[in-house]
Structure 1
């Protein structure tokens, strides 16, 4: 008697990152190349997740930040409906990020007195063709990442994208 076919799982291979996580990797790589400190990645609280918390280093003490930015990363494929993720930063999303940032600062009191802002990074993601005969070349552009079958490109980085 033949065995029943296994149902296809909608869960991705845990060893293969999702495009959203790869977009965050790209933005973190780019921010580091721009001189920023990556303080936290994917910080969670009951209000949601802060994709990246970064610090502008103090010129006199480079390991200590003088400004914080909470970075929301939106990774989209070509032909998306929401202007590369920009339309996903709704008033409700801004309020959730603000509340999450307040929890972060309460959890990190040494950072709570620093000036803060909310930045948005828009990333384009394209799946590379599986019939490619040779692996893609590593990009020397810090605004591009080729990894796990995807090519990601930082389209726009919006400083102080919103205030509440």
Structure 2
């Protein structure tokens, strides 16, 4: 059996981010950035939700900006029965600090978003190779969203809004 180069294999982390992006869009979120990075770190997804605002049709301006939410989303994609509780344990205080600093850089770059309600969300995605799936058995009946790819099934197991408090930094 030949060893394939790393580029041959599916980037399962990126596929998990694709799944979460599709789910967020289907629930009314606007994706602003994917894999935003700076010297402090990377944020997988930055999304905006304009819940409840109305627009003045003739001027195309927002009348109520207090309902605008900006979510900095960390996606954790893991195989079943992994060591870190689906990625939840990987959101350490150090990781939270990196996300917070990266979000500060983002808001400095896009100051028009600085007045939005900002939060840090975590999406937990699980995946299985299709060869491991048993015929007729639903592997993730409680999944919020799923995606089928050649050779893989991905499931959005949990979406945690405001997963950690940025005010502790």
- TM-score, normalised relative to structure 2: 0.79
Deviation at 1:151, TM superposition (A): 0.5
Change (3 A) 1:63 1:142: farther
Gap runs ≥5 in structure 1: 1-6, 131-140
Secondary structure of the 2:108 match is: helix
Whole-Å separation in 2 of the counterparts to 1:148 and 1:75: 17
Change (3 A) 1:142 1:155: closer
Which residue pairs with 1:60 in the alignment?
A: 54
1:124 pairs with 2:126: yes
Residue of structure 2 aligned with 1:25, choices 13, 18, 26: 18
Specify which structure has the higher proportion of helix.
2
Secondary structure of the 1:96 match is: helix
C-alpha RMSD of matched pairs (Å): 2.5
Whole-Å separation in 2 of the counterparts to 1:159 and 1:29: 16
- Maintained 8 Å contact 2:128/2:154: yes
Whole-Å separation in 2 of the counterparts to 1:152 and 1:95: 28
Which residue pairs with 1:12 in the alignment?
A: 7
Gap runs ≥5 in structure 2: 133-142
Deviation at 1:148, TM superposition (A): 3.4
Secondary structure of the 1:110 match is: helix
Whole-Å separation in 1 of the counterparts to 2:38 and 2:4: 28
Count residues in correspondence. Answer: 147
Deviation at 1:12, TM superposition (A): 2.6
- TM-score, normalised relative to structure 1: 0.81
Whole-Å separation in 1 of the counterparts to 2:61 and 2:93: 34
Which residue pairs with 2:78 in the alignment?
A: 76
